[in-house]
């Protein structure tokens, strides 16, 4: 095993508001070694991207947040943290099923369904990322989902197998440590290649919604800051932040 996370602590909690919030409130002072993780059986106020909530049936899924101190990543390159974590979760899911992809900016998909979401919260001082909280919600053993969720899936639904959440967490921690070692070694090209290989709809003509209009076009890449590079049907290159462009799902 790697050595970056060698002193990591695992903090297991029953019920919390949000594992990201716990880390931010209690441990942002760097009292925890890198790679430490807060994992909860149940979140009352699980948070998703933007204003959304993360809903997860208690005891069935992985809801956890890791803490890292990636001071070597300039704020202008902060999306590499997201790429690193997305790749780690995609690697993990790929151990059990194929057709795994990363839907920009932070979703992990299997075919056209969402199996995991990430909430990455960085604290930046003078252009340096001091602390990054890596919140991961992975659907593992949940069978039924609320009808309000557009397209959820889980490892159980895909494989018809029940998983041990402790084992899943341990694998994730090991894979994340490996992926983080690539980031620490500043292997930007390797990370980019791996990410683009898994990027959902990369270079495929598809429909999107931009400011209420349907537009055909293709994803051409992602900027280091995280903006999506998009080519519309007039071959113009446009850049979008999160929520400025929506995927039209089939």
Binding residues for ligand BTN, rule: CB under 6 A, are 18-20, 43, 46-49, 52, 54, 63-65, 107, 117-119, 135-137
Nearer to ligand BTN, 135 or 221 (CB): 135
The C-alpha angle with vertex 68 and arms to 140 and 65, in degrees rounded to 5, equals 30
Nearer to ligand BTN, 39 or 129 (CB): 39
Distance of closest approach, residue 62 Cβ to ligand BTN, in angstroms: 8
Q: Which residue is nearest to ligand BTN (CB)?
A: 117
Q: Dihedral of CA 142/147/149/151: which sign?
A: positive
Cβ atoms < 10 Å from Cβ of 172: 23
Interatomic CA distance for residues 148 and 152, integer angstroms: 10
Interatomic CA distance for residues 131 and 188, integer angstroms: 20
Nearer to ligand BTN, 86 or 217 (CB): 86
Nearer to ligand BTN, 33 or 152 (CB): 152
Contact assessment for residue 165 and residue 62, using Cβ atoms and an 8 Å cutoff: yes
Cis peptide before 105 (omega within 30 of 0): yes
Distance of closest approach, residue 108 Cβ to ligand BTN, in angstroms: 9
Nearer to ligand BTN, 114 or 179 (CB): 114
Nearer to ligand BTN, 56 or 217 (CB): 56
Nearer to ligand BTN, 37 or 183 (CB): 37
**Which residue has tokens 């999160």?**
242
Interatomic CA distance for residues 197 and 85, integer angstroms: 15
Distance of closest approach, residue 143 Cβ to ligand BTN, in angstroms: 19
Distance of closest approach, residue 187 Cβ to ligand BTN, in angstroms: 26
Sequence-ordered list of residues with C-beta below 8 angstroms from that of 224, at least 6 positions apart, any chain? 76, 77, 78, 79, 80
Which tokens hold the place of 4? 């970056």
H or E element at residue 110: strand 107-110
The C-alpha angle with vertex 38 and arms to 37 and 40, in degrees rounded to 5, equals 140
Distance of closest approach, residue 149 Cβ to ligand BTN, in angstroms: 10
Distance of closest approach, residue 89 Cβ to ligand BTN, in angstroms: 11
Distance of closest approach, residue 76 Cβ to ligand BTN, in angstroms: 23
């Amino acid at each position: 095993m790697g050595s970056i996370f060698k002193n990591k602590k695992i903090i297991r909690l029953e019920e919390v508001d949000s594992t990201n919030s716990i880390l931010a409130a209690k441990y942002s002072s760097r009292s925890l070694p890198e790679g430490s993780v807060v994992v909860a059986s149940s979140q009352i106020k699980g948070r998703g991207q933007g204003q959304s909530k993360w809903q997860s049936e208690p005891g069935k899924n992985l809801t956890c947040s890791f803490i890292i101190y990636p001071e070597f990543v300039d704020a202008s390159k902060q999306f590499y943290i997201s790429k690193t974590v997305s790749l780690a979760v995609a690697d993990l899911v790929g151990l059990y099923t194929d057709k795994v992809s990363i839907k920009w900016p932070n979703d992990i998909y299997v075919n056209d369904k969402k199996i995991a979401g990430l909430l990455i919260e960085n604290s930046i001082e003078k252009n340096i990322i001091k602390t990054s909280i890596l919140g991961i919600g992975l659907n593992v053993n949940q069978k039924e989902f609320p009808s309000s969720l557009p397209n959820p899936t889980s490892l159980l639904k895909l494989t018809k197998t029940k998983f041990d959440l402790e084992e899943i967490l341990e694998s994730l921690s090991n894979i994340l440590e490996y992926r983080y070692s690539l980031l620490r070694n500043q292997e930007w090209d390797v990370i980019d290649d791996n990410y683009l290989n898994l990027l959902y709809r990369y270079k495929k003509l598809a429909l999107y919604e931009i400011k209420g209009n349907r537009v055909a076009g293709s994803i051409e890449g992602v900027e280091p800051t995280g903006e999506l590079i998009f080519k519309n049907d007039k071959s113009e290159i446009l850049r979008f932040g999160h929520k400025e462009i929506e995927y039209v799902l089939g």
